[in-house]
Amino acid sequence: MHPVWKAARYAREFVISARRENGTYALNWPAVRPRARTTPHGAAKAVAPLRMAQRIMMGFLDPVEDALFMTAALRTLGHPVTFHLGREKAPLVAPGGFYAWAQYGDEVLTTSLPVREEYTEVLRSGEVTVP
């Protein structure tokens, strides 16, 4: 089986098992699989085929589950990716929206939205130290 499909299957199981009945998620991130060398560019190249696999396996996901899926899949492929959740900077009072994305270091991988300018990060999960 192609590594992208294996990673997508694992990520699907990760998202399904992380869901809780009360609408929260229990996150137990997969370890980053050791690879000789990974780069943000290599991770970004894996996003499109992973997203195709995701759509085939799970359909269109909301931004949180999309970022959970992509983070788990990319980590399975050996990329030290982190999950991020942000709150809209405007409006300052409710109702402010939330958005989730995956990053490799400082590179946002899973959205073209200007998340750093439009959202205040409220959660970062899955930090990895790379030797």
Asked whether residue 105 is domain-assigned, the answer is yes
Boundaries of domain holding 97? 3-23+38-125
Position 32 scores a pLDDT of 87
Whole-number Cα distances in Å, 96 to 23, 24, 38, 118, 130: 18, 18, 36, 11, 35
Is residue 32 assigned to a domain? no
- Give residue 128's pLDDT: 66
8 neighbors 54 (Cβ within 8 angstroms):
yes
- How many domains is the chain built from? 1
SS3 65: helix
Residue 131 within a domain: no
Asked, for residue 106, whether it belongs to a domain, the answer is yes
pLDDT digits (tens, 9 = 90+) for 80-130: 999 999 999 887 777 778 999 999 999 999 999 999 999 999 999 988 655
Band (19; pLDDT cuts 50, 70, 90): very high
Mean pLDDT, all residues of the chain: 91
Q: pLDDT for 38-72, tens place per residue?
A: 899 999 999 999 999 999 999 999 999 999 999 99
- What's the pLDDT at 127? 81
What is the pLDDT, as a whole number, of residue 129? Answer: 59
112 occurs within a structural domain: yes
